[in-house]
Structures are given as C-alpha cells and as structure tokens.
Structure 1
Amino acid sequence: MRYLNESEILPYIHAGKEIEQYLGSYYHNDFRCVRYVTLGKDKVGYYGLLFELFDDSCEGVESIYDYSSVEPDNLNGIELGSFESFRILLEYIGNIAELDSNKYLISGQLDEEIKERAK
C-alpha cells in the first residue's frame, strides 16, 4: 500500500478514480465507529463523501466497505459539495474533519490501512 500526498491526487481524480482517507474512530452510544472520506469529480465538479460507520468487525464483517452506516439515511455517505475547485473542497472538508495531506489512498485500499493500524 502506498499513500499519496495531496500533490499526487488530482491526476487520479481527473482520470475518474476516487481517493479516500481514513479519518479514525470514535464511539457512538458505546459502539465503536469509524470515519472516512471519499473524494472525486463528476460532471458538476469536485465532491466529497463522508462515511460514518459502525465498526462491524466484531460481528465478522471483514471489510469497512460492508460496515453498516451510523445514520440509515446516509448509506451512501454524507455529500460534501459539489465545488468548482478541488482546493475549495479540501478547505470545506477541513472544517469538518482533520485531513492528513500525506495519507490519501486510491479507493478500495482502506481495509489494508486498517489492518496496518491494528498491528
């Protein structure tokens, strides 16, 4: 697994790929939850999706992508944007969550990152 820094992610996004970043864990009503953000671009502009999920690993669910949403109305993430500029999107998300400019991943690699953090 190779992390991307902020200066490397726009070419991936312009190629139609989504970029993700794990934002850590927290507790909601005594249940461990995890957060991550997905960044991408569509016809309208740059967007972000914030996912807040129950950590279902203790239930035998192996992938973060299969965890259940904390809010049933946000199964596909909380929409953040659309913005004309990628920089404005990052600033907006920075008001909601702390992003690490050197810890971006190509979509689909969060399970591997979580395993690395658990070591």
Structure 2
Amino acid sequence: MKYLDIEQLKTNLSLGKTVEQWLGHKHEEDYTVLKWLSIKKERNAEFNVAYIESFDEGSDDFIDIYEFSTLDPDELLGVINTFSTKDEALDFSVNEYGASMGKFVSQGMIQEEYALYLNL
C-alpha cells in the first residue's frame, strides 16, 4: 500500500484533494462494522473530517466501500467535524479517532485498504 508521507498529505489537503484512512473493524454479534475516515477541504477553505462506520457488505468481487450502508442511516456521509486548518483536522483525526499520520491514502485507495483487510 502506498501511504502518503506527511509532506504529500499536507500538500494534497492544501490542493483540495481528499485523503482517507482505514481505521479497522469491529465484530458485533450478527455483523461486522468497518471504520474509516476522510479529510476534505471545502470551498470555504475549511477542512471536514468525516468518520464513517459502515456494515461490511463486501466480498472478493465487491470492494466498493463507498457503497456500503452506514451504521447510522442519518449519517450517510459520516460524523463530520469542521476545522479552520488542515493541521487542526489532522490533529483531531489522530486524537479523536486514533488515526496515524503515516497511514493516510489518496481518495479512492481506501478500497485497496479494504481489500487488504479481506486478504485479497
């Protein structure tokens, strides 16, 4: 997996490119919950951190994590927190959700992280 180094991470965010991170999963009695987050720069130059929990509805042939149902149907885009700077958004991601500065990927690569989880 190609993770972004800190300079790439901050450059991508400054340029308005979304970054994402796989945060793992948890097994419940009847289902598995996938956890991940994304950080996106908005048009007003603020940064949104979206924390997503979705049902594991994938398979070897279907790894499009964006299409999975969210745990809370009222939060289709996840739990969103907004920050004035990219550094505040990154710090929040690390402190609130346990993200790692060395494990962010470019948008779209979260599906590859899911495939690794499935051991494909």
Q: TM-score, normalised by structure 1?
A: 0.86
Local SS of the residue matching 2:97: coil
Return structure 1 stretches of 4+ with deviation > 4 angstroms.
Answer: none
2:54 aligned with 1:53, yes or no? yes
Alignment: residue pair count:
117
Question: In 1, Cα distance between the equivalents of 2:75 and 2:41?
Answer: 20
Deviations 1:79-104 (A, max 9, x none): 111x1222222222233211111111
- How far 1:4 moved relative to its partner? 0.4
2:11 aligned with 1:11, yes or no? yes
Question: In 1, Cα distance between the equivalents of 2:5 and 2:30?
Answer: 34
Gapped regions of structure 2 (runs ≥ 5): none
Question: In 1, Cα distance between the equivalents of 2:33 and 2:50?
Answer: 16
Tell me which residue corresponds to 2:87. 87
Gapped regions of structure 1 (runs ≥ 5): none
Provide the identity percentage. 24
Local SS of the residue matching 1:51: strand
Question: In 2, Cα distance between the equivalents of 1:33 and 1:88?
Answer: 27
Q: Match for 1:40: what amino acid?
A: K
CA RMSD of aligned residues (A): 1.8
Local SS of the residue matching 1:50: strand
Question: Does the 8 Å contact 1:16/1:40 carry over to 2?
Answer: yes
Tell me which residue corresponds to 2:74. 73
Deviations 1:21-76 (A, max 9, x none): 00000134531010111012111411111110000025x74311111000000111
Question: In 2, Cα distance between the equivalents of 1:93 and 1:29?
Answer: 28
